[in-house]
Amino acid sequence: MDYGPGHQPENPDTDLDALAADPPDVDDDTVTPVTAASNPANTITVTAYLTGVIARVDLDSRVTTLTESQLAQQIQAVAEVAVKRASAVVHIAMVKVLMDTGMDFLQARDFAENMLPFTTPAQADAAAAELATRFADSDPDHA
């Protein structure tokens, strides 16, 4: 292939034009479900996909009162809770799937807790409570 000066792509309307185009309309049915968690001051919100991948981090302007280290610690802690919540949603879905296959609720719950790698709802709630306790004193509105 020739990429030297004066080279014209074979079809110039395919490569970069696709990037510049408006995104396609997305039906509500095709949107990937997500979970979110926030710090006690509601200045940091992290949204995670059900796969455990962080979708976005939203910061309020009040985070400027935190040091860079404090901000990083809080983002990491909030992200961990968001990921645990996402895992708990998958845990619940797996319990339902197991029940649909004929297991009773207690068997399905025990199987999911002991044999599957997902966070339980109780574990996700405990992580959120620990986050609230850990960063309660860093609320800029109550400083």
Q: What is the mean pLDDT of residues 111-140?
A: 91
For the stretch 48-80, pLDDT in tens is 999 999 999 999 999 999 999 999 999 999 999
pLDDT at 3 over 50: no
Q: What is the pTM of this model?
A: 0.74
What is the per-residue pLDDT across 8-54, written as a single tens digit (0 to 9) for each?
545 544 444 443 444 445 455 555 778 999 999 999 999 999 999 99
DSSP 8-state code for residue 1 = -
Cα–Cα dist 127/133, whole Å = 10
**CA separation, residue 3 to residues 7, 17, 18 (Å):** 6, 19, 21
Query: 52 — alpha (psi -120 to 50), left (phi > 0) or beta?
Result: left
- Which distant-in-sequence residues (6+ apart) come within 8 Å of 113 by Cβ? 91, 120
Distance CA 15, CA 55 (A): 26
